[in-house]
């Protein structure tokens, strides 16, 4: 199994779980709960990226890697500035782990499919 299928499966599962949580929460706003309607876009975007990664599309791999790299760099820099020492080490390590899909995408770029329409 390629790493892109693993990434796609995880993104698809995250998106599907997000859609289920949003649908389960629809009637709870009147009871004093928070509305999760804004999370619907993130969940559907995750489903779209997951499907693109499952089919080995270059656009999905590039978008997935760039988004995770931005989040990882943001976590690393801001945790050094704002978080106390024992926890900043964990945050920097987690931020570095989010850079791994970018490295895998660059190394395996030739295995991905581009959309070629006649």
At 38-93, the pLDDT tens digits run: 899 999 999 999 999 999 999 999 999 999 999 999 999 999 888 888 889 999 99
pTM to 2 decimal places: 0.84
**Residue 67: per-residue pLDDT:** 95
Checking if the pLDDT of 105 tops 60, the result is yes
**Residue 43: per-residue pLDDT:** 94
3-class SS letters over 18-70:
HHHHHHHCHHHHHHCCCCCCCHHHHHHHHHHHHHHHHCCEHHHHHHHHHHHHH
């Amino acid at each position: 199994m390629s790493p892109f299928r693993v990434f796609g499966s995880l993104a698809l599962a995250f998106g599907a779980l997000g859609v289920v949580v949003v649908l389960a929460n629809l009637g709870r706003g009147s009871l004093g709960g928070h509305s999760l309607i804004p999370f619907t876009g993130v969940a559907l975007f995750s489903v779209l990226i997951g499907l693109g990664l499952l089919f080995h599309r270059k656009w999905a791999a590039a978008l997935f890697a760039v988004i995770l790299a931005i989040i990882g760099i943001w976590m690393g820099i801001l945790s050094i500035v704002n978080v106390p020492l024992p926890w900043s080490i964990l945050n920097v390590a987690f931020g570095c782990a989010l850079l791994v899909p970018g490295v895998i995408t660059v190394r395996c770029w030739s295995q991905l499919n581009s959309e070629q329409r006649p």
